[in-house]
Amino acid sequence: MIRFETYPDLIQLLLWLVLPTLVLIAWWARSSRKRILKKAGDPDLIEQLSHSVSKNKRRIKDLIRFLAILLVLFAAFGPKFSDELTEVHREGVDVVILLDVSNSMRAQDIKPDRLEKARFELRRLLSSLKGDRIALVVFAGQAHLQTPLTLDYSAFEMFLDISDEKLIGVQGTSFENAIDVGITAFDQEDLQHRAMIIISDGEDHEGDLEAVLERAKKENVVIHTAGIGSFSGTPIPIIDDLRQIKGYRKTSTGETVTTRLYAETLQTISEETGGRFVHLNTSAASLDDIYNDILGMEKKEFSRHEYTNFKEQFQWFVWLALIFLISDLLISDLHGKERNWQGDYID
């Protein structure tokens, strides 16, 4: 099986024009040579003077040059040959990310703010994934499946970039609803290979957390948690459409609302389901420890397919063209045997 390199249309057009252009140049050069010889003198005399040149050898040399150019042009098209099929297996774990997008995630105790830190860590996690499917659930007082399980990491990152507090109309932090939506995001026919990561400041949790954790354990979902924020109180900024701070949230009595990390809730969730808790409080903290645990889980096969493994073969045509060009230099266009003068000397 053979295929060629895919070039932009303009480059392909130029490559196709090379051969007819060279043919036109050769025809023009041959015609010009004949015109020059006619002007140089008597054709019969010139024919007699050029008896030492072999026309057959000249034709052979011309043919060799033409073949060399043809081979170089063929090599430029990037020929690829293959007669082997390679089977590819894709294995991994299903990972559902639960991202807290409540107002408190805009606190700036971690620069630029908690939500941006969470996004940064998730992008780092994406670059480390090894064939795992990943889904995104955003939550505050309610939860929403932003991206179903996918192997398209670029699509996941695109939806991650637009995930903020404006997506969820009901504020607060409902872990029960978030975990419930996260569980439904998994493949319901496969009760293995399931991991969940919650990234949150753990504040203002609502609902019956114990009941949903029991469901997670029954459905073999390991929940890891990542706490983000400091343990001291930090005001919650109000961000306008230009991403500028226009004030801070206040209570009905005019007091500034502060937020801190509630690690206890997050630690309880991870301990109950056999997961790990990490604190994303510094630049050195990351989700690496969590992903290392995920790598240790049993993997399942997501896809298996065969493809033809094409290999570049242009170099063989270049080498053959080089051999032809060297042969052209080694072949003389003179007759192989000595030719004697058969004319008469003039006294």
- Look-up: residue for tokens 């309610």? 142
Per-residue pLDDT of the chain (347 residues; tens, 9 = 90+): 666 666 677 777 776 787 788 778 878 877 887 777 677 666 666 666 666 666 777 778 888 888 888 888 888 877 777 666 665 566 788 999 999 999 889 999 888 899 999 999 999 999 988 888 999 999 988 899 999 999 899 999 999 999 988 888 777 788 999 999 999 999 888 778 889 999 999 876 667 788 999 999 999 999 999 999 888 888 888 877 777 788 888 888 888 888 889 899 999 999 999 999 999 886 667 898 899 998 888 776 655 555 566 677 788 888 888 998 888 888 877 766 555 555 554 44
DSSP result, 72-133 = HHHHHT--EE---EEEEEEEE-EEEEEEE-SGGGG--SSSS-HHHHHHHHHHHHHHH-SS-E
Tell me yes or no: is domain 89-304 CATH 3.40.50.410.
yes
pTM of the model: 0.63
Task: Calculate the alpha carbon distances from 183 to 83, 167, 250, 323 in Å.
Answer: 45, 20, 35, 66
Kindly list the domain boundaries of the chain, sorted by start residue. Answer: 2-83+311-330, 89-304
The Cα–Cα gap between 73 and 77 comes to: 7
Tell me the backbone φ, ψ of residue 256, rounded to 5 degrees.
Answer: -70, 130
Q: Is the peptide bond before 43 cis (omega within 30 degrees of 0)?
A: no
